[in-house]
Amino acid sequence: MTIFANAPVKQQAMAWIDAQLDSLSADHMTIWNLHEPSWREYKSVAWYVDRLRAEGFEVEAGSGGMPTAFCATWSNGAGPTIGGYAEYDAVPGQSQAAVPYRAPREGSSKYAAGHTDPHSALGIGSLTGFLAAKAMMEKHNIPGRLQFMGEPAEKMCGSKPVHAAKGYYDDLDAAISFHPHSFPALTNGCFWDTHSAPYWSRIYTFDCDTPETWQQSKANTGIAHTHFSARAPGAIDAVCLMYSAGKYMKESMLPHHGSWTLNEHILKAGHASADNIAPGLGQIQYSFRGPALAMCEQVFEVLDRNADHIAQMSHCTVHKAWITRCRPGLPNHAMARLAFSNFQEIGPPRWPQEGKVFARQIMQGLGREPLEEPFVDGHDRLTPPWEAEQAFRAQLPAWQHHIAADDYVEYTWHAPTVRLYVARPTLASPDGYRYGEWTRNAMGGVPACIDPMWSTAGRVISATILDLLTDGSSLNAAQREFQDRSGGGIGGPEWTAPLLPAGFDAPVGYGWPEYISTARGEGWSHPA
C-alpha cells in the first residue's frame, strides 16, 4: 500500500525522510555518543545550533538565559507558527555501551551519564519531522513558520517552565511533543485525557557559617584547639535530618493510593573532610511528581517547615531555591485525532532482523531463551488514544486526572498540543522476568534497534505539521478546543499561568554532575 496516496505533499515528505535516513541515523549517534547530563549539554547544543543554522533557521543560542538551550525559527511567509523541540540530556549513573551485555561506555566511568528514554532519539525524531515539513513548505510554497526549541535538563523538568515563563511559547498556534513509549498501555499513539502531572523540585542549602557560636556560653573549656572543642552539628547533620524527616513525611502525609513520587538527591555534604570542624555546606534536592497542584503545595509547605526547624537544630541557616515548577497537562482531542490519523496511515515502526538479532543476544547472554519476536507485545501495532485512556483510568483512582511527569505540559497551556508516543525497543518477558534498564540503554545506541522508532516519529510529526498548515480545518478545530479547555486562552480568567516568575534564573550554577578533564584524564566530578 502506498502511504498517503491521496496526499502528494505528505507522500513527498515521506520520500524526503527515506532519502535522509542514513545521515539522520549518523546524527542520532552523534548525540548518543556525547551523553551529556542535565544543564551540561554543551557539545550537544552546539551541534543542534550549527545544524539548524545550516538548514536556514535563525537560532537564538542560550535562550531564556540557559546556556544549553536554543530557540530556532524559520519562516516561509505569513502563516501559522508550529512548535516542537529537541531534548538531549542524559542521566548520570546510566552509562552503557552499545553491546549485548552490561558494560559502561569505553573510557568512561559506570557513573557517567547515558541516554535512558532516550532523549538522543527523541531529539532527532522531532528534528526529522520539522526538517521534512520545512522541505515541503519550500518546495510547494506553503506559508507558515516553524519554531524548534532546544530544551535541556528535561530529567529535571528544567527548561520548558523557564521558556514558558519568559514568553517563548506565547506566539505558537500549535505544538507537537514526541516521546519514546514509556507506558505498556500506550506503545504507538497519543495521550487523550490523562496527561502528565505537575513536577516540582526545590533545593535546600544548609550553611554552618558561625560554628563558634554554638552553645557559646558553655563552650569555654580553656582549650583553644578545635580538635578538643565541642563541635556544632553542622551541615551534614542538617542534610541527614532533612532526609530522615522527608521519609517520615511520606508515611504520614501523602495518600497511599494514586500515583505520586517524592525523590531526594544529595548534592553536597560536608567539605570539612574528617576533621573536627563543623561541616559548612550541605545541599539536598527534593523532586515531587504529584497529580494535583494543591498536593504539590502541601508537600513543599511541609518540606519548607522541616528545613526551618532542622536549620535551628543543626546550627545552620537554610536557603530555599526552586529548580522547577510545572503545571498539569492540558488535553486536546483535535490534535490527538489528527496525529493519530497520520500514524494510522504510516503504521507502527518495523524492526529489521539485525535489531532483533541484537535483542536475542542480550537474552542469550542473560541465560534466557532467545525469542523469535524479542520485543514486547504491542510494539507492532497502534493504540488508539481512547483505548489507552481506558487502560489508564482502570489503574487510577477517579480523582486522579494526571500521571507521571514531563515538562512538555508547559506547551499545553500556550497552544493546542499533542503528546505522541512511539514504541521503543523493549525486551519481551512472557514469564515476568525483569530486565535491567541497561538493556534498553544498550539498544538505544544500536541503529537497527533505535532508528525505526525515531524515524516513525519523524514521519508522523512532518505529516501532522503539513496538515495543520494546509488542510484548512485541523488547526481551527484544535484552537477552538484549546480556548474552551484553557478558559479563554493565554491570560484568560481560568488560564493557569506559568508557575515560575518571568525573571527566574535557571539553576545552572549548582554542582550538577558532569565530566571534566584533568591531568589524571577524563573523570566524573561534582564541581563546587
Other residues' Cβ atoms within 10 Å of the Cβ of residue 522: 13
Residue 111 amino acid letter: Y
Q: Which residues contact 502 (CB under 8 A, 6 or more apart)?
A: 165, 166, 167
Cβ-based burial of 42 (10 A; exposed 0-12, middle 13-18, buried ≥19): middle
According to DSSP, the β-strands at 514-518 and 189-190 are: unpaired
What is the reported pLDDT for 102? Answer: 97
What is the reported pLDDT for 2? Answer: 76
What is the reported pLDDT for 217? Answer: 56
Q: Which residues of the chain have pLDDT under 70?
A: 1, 216-229, 254-258, 271-274, 522-528
3-class DSSP state of 251: helix
Q: Are 235 and 314 in contact (CB under 8 A)?
A: yes
Cell 544549553 appears where?
68
Q: Which residues contact 472 (CB under 8 A, 6 or more apart)?
A: none
Which H/E stretch holds residue 471? none
d(CA 36, CA 507): 17
Q: Let me know the angle formed at the C-alpha of 125 by 119 and 130, rounded to the nearest 5 degrees.
A: 125
Write the DSSP string, 307-373.
HHHHHHHTT-EEEEEEEEEPPPP---HHHHHHHHHHHHHH-S----HHHHHHHHHHHHHTTPPPPSS
Q: In Å, how far from its chain's centre is CA 358?
A: 27
What is the reported pLDDT for 452? Answer: 98
d(CA 241, CA 246): 8
How far is the CA of 451 from the CAs of 29, 182, 235, in angstroms?
10, 17, 47
What is the reported pLDDT for 257? Answer: 64
Q: What is the dihedral of CA 401, 406, 407, 413, to 10 degrees?
A: -30
3-class DSSP state of 78: coil
- 30-46 per-position pLDDT tens digit: 999 999 999 999 999 99
- 389-422 per-position pLDDT tens digit: 999 999 899 999 999 999 999 999 999 999 999 9
Which H/E stretch holds residue 27? helix 8-34
From the list 268, 215, 261, 263, the residue with the least C-alpha distance to 239 is 268
From the list 252, 254, 283, the residue with the least C-alpha distance to 270 is 283
Domains of the chain: 8-197+328-485 (3.40.630.10), 200-325 (3.30.70.360)
What is the reported pLDDT for 120? Answer: 98
What is the reported pLDDT for 212? Answer: 83
Write the DSSP string, 159-217.
HHHHHHHTTTTTT-SEEEEEEE--BTTBSSEE--S-EEEPEEEEEEEEE---GGGTTGG
- 104-116 per-position pLDDT tens digit: 998 888 888 999 9
